[in-house]
């Protein structure tokens, strides 16, 4: 299994507070992704990174920001959490050495976030 960890694994917070989720990889993979999983929606891409300091928006990026200052860490920040951001968040990585390494995503264990 790819070496991907997420922290925290569970978090309960209140509306209006900032929250940062961390994804850490030990695979030296170039690409990293943040998804949210909600019932009836599958996984939806929030933001992704294609290199250090290189990030872009996914389909549900409103209310989220990301940063990637080094290859192994990809941070997802909710500047002011809302109840609609209650979800399970997954980090994923993929590599750079050609198929199947580049096209196959491997997922972290997920973070369950509850915004009250």
Partner 1 sequence: AQTVTQSQPEMSVQEAETVTLSCTYDTSENNYYLFWYKQPPSRQMILVIRQEAYKQQNATENRFSVNFQKAAKSFSLKISDSQLGDTAMYFCAFMKPDATSGTYKYIFGTGTRLKVLA
Residues that bind partner 1 (CB under 8 A): 31, 33, 40-45, 48, 50, 54, 56, 88, 90, 92, 94, 99-100, 102-107, 109-110
Nearer to partner 1 by C-beta: 15 or 104?
A: 104
Region of 55 on the Ramachandran plot (φ > 0 left; ψ -120 to 50 alpha; else beta): beta
| Cβ nearer to partner 1, comparing 80 with 96 | 96
CB of 32 to partner 1, least distance (A): 9
> Which CB sits closer to partner 1, 15 or 41?
41
Separation between Cα atoms, residue 90 and residue 74, nearest integer Å: 12
**How many Å apart are CA 58 and CA 44, to the nearest integer?**
8
Q: Whose Cβ is closer to partner 1: residue 17's or residue 47's?
A: 47
Q: How far is the CB of 78 from partner 1 (least distance, A)?
A: 20
Work out how close the CB of 36 gets to partner 1 at its nearest, in angstroms, rounded to a whole number.
Answer: 11
Say which residues have a Cβ less than 8 Å from residue 103's Cβ, sequence separation at least 6. 94
- Minimum CB distance to partner 1, residue 16 (Å): 27
DSSP-derived 3-state class of residue 107: strand
**Residue 88 class from Cβ within 10 Å (0-12 exposed, 13-18 middle, 19+ buried)?**
middle
């Amino acid at each position: 299994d790819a070496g991907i960890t997420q922290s925290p694994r569970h978090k309960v917070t209140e509306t209006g507070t900032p929250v940062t989720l961390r994804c850490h990889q030990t695979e030296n993979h170039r690409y990293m992704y943040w998804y949210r999983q909600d019932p009836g929606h599958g996984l939806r891409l929030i933001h992704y990174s294609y290199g250090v300091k290189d990030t872009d928006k996914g389909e549900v990026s409103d209310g989220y920001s990301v940063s990637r200052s080094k290859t192994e860490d990809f941070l997802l920040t909710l500047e002011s959490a809302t109840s609609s951001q209650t979800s399970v968040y997954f980090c994923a990585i993929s590599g750079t050495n050609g198929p199947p390494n580049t096209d196959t995503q491997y997922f972290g264990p997920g973070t369950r976030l509850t915004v009250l």
